[in-house]
C-alpha cells in the first residue's frame, strides 16, 4: 500500500495566476504559484485592491490635523 502512495506522490495543481499545471512540491518556494512572477502579480493585485477600498483615511487625517491645531 505504501508503495502505491509513493507512485502517486506527484500531485499537480493549477497556478492561481496563469492556470499552468504545476507539480505540488514542498521545495517550490512559489507555491501555489508556478513562478516568482505569478506570485508577484497576485501580490500587486492584492495591493491594488487594498488601495481601491473606499475609505476616509485621508479625510480622517485632515480632521485630526485640524483638531491638533485647535489645541
- Residue numbers at the binding site for Zn ion (CB under 5 A): 15, 17-18, 20, 34, 38
Question: In the Cβ-directed half-sphere of 63, how many Cα atoms lie within 13 Å?
Answer: 5
Q: Which is nearer to Zn ion, 18 or 45 (CB)?
A: 18
Q: How far is the CB of 18 from Zn ion (least distance, A)?
A: 3
Provide DSSP, 2-71: HHHHHHT---EEE-TTT--EEE--TT-TTTTSSSHHHHHHHHHHHHHHHHHS---HHHHHHHHHHHHHH-
> Is 15 annotated among the ligand-binding residues?
yes
> Is 68 annotated among the ligand-binding residues?
no
Q: How far is the CB of 71 from Zn ion (least distance, A)?
A: 53
> Is 35 annotated among the ligand-binding residues?
no
- Provide the annotated binding site for Zn(2+): 15, 18, 34, 38
Amino acid at each position: 500500500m505504501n508503495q502505491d502512495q509513493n507512485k502517486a506522490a506527484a500531485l499537480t495543481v493549477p497556478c492561481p495566476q496563469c492556470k499552468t499545471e504545476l507539480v505540488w512540491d514542498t521545495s517550490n518556494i512559489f507555491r501555489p504559484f508556478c513562478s516568482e512572477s505569478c506570485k508577484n502579480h497576485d501580490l500587486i493585485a492584492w495591493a491594488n485592491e487594498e488601495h481601491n477600498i473606499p475609505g476616509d483615511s485621508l479625510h480622517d487625517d485632515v480632521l485630526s490635523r485640524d483638531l491638533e491645531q485647535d489645541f
